[in-house]
Chains A and B, each alone.
Chain A
Amino acid sequence: MSTSPDILEVLLRPPSGEESIDRKTLAGLLIEIAQSLKPELRAQQNGVRPGDLQFEQLRTLLVGREIETLSRLTGLVDDPERLAAAIGRVLPTAIAQATSDARMGHVLAPVMERAAESSIRTNPGTLINILYPMIVPAIRKSIGETIDETFQRLNQTLKYSLTWRGLKWRWEAWRTGSSFAEVVLRHTLVYQVEHVFLIHRHTGLLIAHVSAENASSQDPQLVSSMLVAIQDFVRDSFSGAEHQGLDQLRLGELRLWSEPGPFAALVAVIRGDPPEGLHDTLRNTLSRIHAERHHALERFDGDSSGLADVEARLRDLVALGEHAPPRVSLARTVVLGFLVLLLILAGTWAASWWHTQQLWQGYLERLRALPGIVITEAGERDGKFVVSGLRDPLAVDPQAVLREAGVNPAWVIASWVPYQALDPQSVLRRLEASLDPPPSVTLAIADDRIVARGSAPRPWLDRAYAVAQALPAGAPGFDLAGVRNEDEADEQQWQAYVEWLRSEPGIVITHSEAHNGNLVVSGLRDPLAVDPLKLLGAAGIDPARVEAHFEPYQGLDPQSVLRRLNASLAPPPSITLAIAGNRILAQGSAPRAWLERAHADAQALPAGAPAFDLAGVRNEDEADEQQWQAYVEWLRSEPGIVITKSEARDGKFLVSGLRDPLAVDPLKLMGEVGIDPARVEVHFEPYEGLDPQFVLKRLQASLNPPPGVTLAVEGDRIVAQGSASSPWIERARRAGNLLPAGAPVFDVSAVRNVSEGALGKLRDAIQARSIRFDNNVMLPAAGQDEILDQLAVELIELAKLSSSLNVISRVTLTGHSDAKGQGTSNLSLSVARAEAVRALLNKRGVDPDQLAVRGAGPLEPLEADTSEAARSVNRRVSFSVGFEEQP
């Protein structure tokens, strides 16, 4: 750093007087600083010589601290970063202090604009985030109101654009040069601002209140506080944001619009239907009040005396309301011109109206004159002619009359109810339309009657007569007497044919007609009656024209019945059928089968038919039948045969029933009676007859009684007599017990038992005898001959007696030995002993065939073989007697 010489001078000079700092010196110093700040200044002072060392030291001594400060400051100033930091520290304070200076705004504005612009360009999001909460509600509200307004205008435009009032307003818009919408709005603002409250938002206290002359309300101070309270309530209840609130309330036709401002809210009470644009008016007033009385509003503490002028603003709002439509004074010429035009138009219209009326009356006259048209009502409605009445469908078309009368059909509303006119002309027209008379017939009106003349076929005539009958009361008569029937000849021919048919037996005519040249006949016809078609040829009628329908039926006249009987019964040649008076007689002879059929037919003849008398017919089969009857009677009388059914049918005989196998054979009887078995069918079921004869037979077959016994029926019992052996008697008794209930009793009590009596005594005597033997000897012991003799006598007697009783007696000789000795030898010894006795008896005249022999050995002792005496008794031949029935 160098120091200029004048600075040196200043520094070396002693302090002068009271001035602490010489101005010159200070200037020098400043230049020095300036040179330090701006190097180019230093370059301009190249001529300065660098100071010497002493001087430099001095300088350091004197202003060392300042130089140091300067150097620090210089460093600060030279280094942009440090400078920026230093200024940054003081900048907010500086700006805050400079705010009062009006220029500050001017200076900063462009910078701020650029800064904001740059900031938005680089990061628009930040700004959007900041602005969003403020702008969006505003936009939303604005759009909402605009849409509401548009709708309101559209409504009104639609409402008024096509009516008379609307046309009037269009005229007014065109005349005043304003838009139609404006005119509509002006005329349709049906509302009045009744109250305006300016309310301090913070305290809810009323700042000012203005009301329309005719409006009434409660104490406005209370009302304003309550409004605020309600706003708070709604906001708290539905957590609305601080800056939001009720901006509209509606009670019937009263509306309450609230416009919030920073310090005060403007609340307007509006009666009627305010335009949305009123919002803007309110908002503008509020912002103007805020602009004018910003401080007063901000500091409002309940003292509204300083805000009296606000009321004037509010009064402007209360003046808002329905405007009277602006009066327009029309120029006289325009009025006159309009009136003249009106007169001309009225005149033209009247003339046209009169003309039209004339045409219309003429038309009505014409219509009235027309037959078949009755006018019940004619008049005008909604600018159109109306006619209604009755019209016969055949009457003249009123539309055609309309054209003739020169009336525009578009003016006329006609309603015609169809009816039948009864004046002769209409009736004639209707008859012509409905009957369509052939060219040979003419219809005409004569003296209120309609007369037909000429000739016509029968169908047309019939139709015409029917129509004439059906004409309503009050209609003219329809005279058909003058019309000749063209079909008369044909009809007579047909009539004759039908009469002929009617006279035929077995034909009943129910319907006959000649229709359109076709001939129809129908009725009933017995199939055996004459064929009506065949009669046609005889009557000279073309069969192609005839339609015949005959239902078959049974004719009940004697001839038809006779014919039918002949056909159905086919009587044999021996029979003749004939009509006698009201009866049909059959004569001759016929087999039974035919007779039966004829009787059945006679029975089946319907009521009203002639009687069929078969009494004169002889039955050819009578002999046969009597023979058969006799045979059946015979069978019936036979025991063991029960006849359940017997009949003679178609020359054959049938018999069926039950037959005991022991009964007589019916077929055998047939031969005896002389009936050909080939003609007979026999069905007998076997059964057990309980007739005593059959029981007897069955008993005889099953018991096979011995010759000494006879069985016989005695009354209801069967009795056995004679003598028999006890086994047979036993068998017979058992058989008697087994007979079924209802069968005759079998009595065997009268049969004697041969085993008892003389034969029995003889048997007992013989059996008591025995022949003794000595030990081991086969011939009888000594002294036995006498016994043998007696025995022989007894045996001979037995044989005789048995024979007389028809019983065979069998005597068995049994030889015995004692128990001593060999068994086999004892057995053979015993047999030998029996043989010996038989031989001895034979010698004495006894038939050996009567005697049987057997040996018992020691096996049948009389006494126990313990002693010689007992052995002696046991050595013997014993006798036993049995009886058998004779074979």
Chain B
Amino acid sequence: MTATLQKKICMLGGFSVGKTSLVKRYVQSVFSETYLTTVGVKIDKKTVDLSDRIVNLILWDLAGEDDINSFRMTNMRGAAGYVLVADGTRPSTLDVALSLRQRVEAEYGPLPFVLLLNKSDLKEQWAIGDAEIAELRQNGRWVRLSSARTGEGVEDAFKDLAVRATS
């Protein structure tokens, strides 16, 4: 094991936005997905090779719930950053993601995060306008389009996060 650095990263997002499928192909996973439904958390690991070091992102995939009040904030404790996931075909999930971010910031202060607008491969059903995305970007958010199917944006997002969490 050459990596000497670990960071706790949480994956947050509304119900069925595709968090789990997003990372499924790109992470090292040993636990079954039933943990999500039983314990509410599933731990995966994403190793990111930065030029000078290797960072192990310990991904806490938190069960997605549309009712953000039932979100268990304790799981965020000690996180070095987080990934917000929203479903690009369902604008309501973007609201959920943004309000989750607000709750996290209220409790743990500003942390590095990436906002993934997932399911970018479903162009026909895409429901978030470019202007809106641009506005989000303008407000200084790291917004990326992603697709669990094509893998678009996933690696970059983790790399971004690794860099920012370790800087």
- A residues contacting B by CB (< 8 A) are 200, 202-206, 218-219, 221-223, 225-226, 229-230, 232-233, 236, 301-305
Contacts and interface: CB of A to CB of B under 8 A. Distances in A.
Interface centre among B6, B30, B41, B60 (most CB of A within 10 A): B6
Contacts of A221: 6, 45, 56, 58
Interface centre among A218, A222, A236, A301 (most CB of B within 10 A): A222
Interface of B: 4-8, 28-31, 35, 39-41, 43-45, 56, 58, 60, 72, 74-75, 77-80
Interface centre among A205, A219, A229, A230 (most CB of B within 10 A): A229
Contacts of A304: 4, 6
A234 to B, nearest CB: 9
A263 to B, nearest CB: 11
28 contacts: A200-B78, A202-B77, A203-B8, A203-B77, A203-B78, A204-B58, A205-B7, A205-B58, A205-B78, A206-B6, A218-B30, A219-B28, A221-B45, A221-B56, A222-B28, A222-B30, A222-B31, A222-B44, A225-B8, A226-B35, A226-B41, A229-B75, A232-B41, A232-B75, A233-B39, A233-B40, A233-B41, A302-B7
Contacts of A202: 77-78
Contacts of B39: 229-230, 233
B43 A226 contact: yes
Contacts of B40: 233
Contacts of B75: 229, 232
A200 B30 CA distance: 21
Contacts of B80: 203, 301-302
Given A221-B58, A304-B4, A204 B78 contact: yes
Contact of B31 (A203, A205, A226): A226
B101 to A, nearest CB: 20
Interface centre among A218, A225, A232 (most CB of B within 10 A): A225
A218 B32 CA distance: 13
B58 A236 contact: no
Contacts of A225: 8, 43, 58, 60
A878 to B, nearest CB: 148
A222 B43 contact: yes
A222 B46 CA distance: 10
Contacts of B30: 218-219, 222-223
A222 B5 contact: no
A229 B36 CA distance: 11
A38 to B, nearest CB: 59
A205 B43 CA distance: 11
Nearest to B72: A236
Contacts of A205: 6-8, 58, 78
Contacts of B79: 203
B65 to A, nearest CB: 14
A108 B72 CA distance: 45
B111 to A, nearest CB: 12
A574 B5 CA distance: 157
A202 B78 CA distance: 5
A229 B41 contact: yes
Nearest to B55: A302
Nearest to A206: B6
A229 B79 CA distance: 12
Contacts of A233: 39-41
Nearest to B74: A232
Contacts of A226: 31, 35, 41, 43
A281 B75 CA distance: 30
A303 B35 CA distance: 27
A219 B45 contact: yes
A868 B34 CA distance: 161
A302 B6 contact: yes
Nearest to A203: B78
Contacts of A204: 8, 58, 60, 78
A222 B58 contact: yes
Contacts of B4: 303-305
B8 A302 contact: yes
A226 B61 CA distance: 11
A222 B45 contact: yes
A388 to B, nearest CB: 66
Given A232-B75, A236-B72, A305-B4, 20 more contacts: A203-B78, A204-B58, A204-B78, A205-B6, A205-B8, A219-B30, A222-B29, A222-B30, A222-B31, A222-B44, A222-B45, A222-B58, A223-B30, A225-B58, A226-B41, A226-B43, A229-B41, A230-B39, A232-B72, A232-B74
A222 B41 CA distance: 12
A236 B74 contact: yes
Nearest to A220: B1
Nearest to B3: A221
Nearest to B39: A233
A797 to B, nearest CB: 157
Contacts of A230: 39
Top 6 A-B residue pairs of the complex, sorted by shortest distance between their CB atoms = A203-B78, A229-B41, A302-B6, A202-B78, A218-B30, A305-B4
Nearest to B165: A302
Contacts of B28: 219, 222
A306 to B, nearest CB: 9
Contacts of B72: 232, 236
A302 B5 contact: yes
Contacts of A200: 78
B70 to A, nearest CB: 11
A278 B5 CA distance: 31
Nearest to B40: A233
Contacts of A301: 80
A277 B4 CA distance: 34
A206 B30 CA distance: 16
Contacts of B60: 204, 225, 229
B5 to A, nearest CB: 5
B74 A303 contact: no
Nearest to B8: A203
A229 B43 contact: yes
Given A205-B58, A221-B56, A229-B39, A303 B5 contact: yes
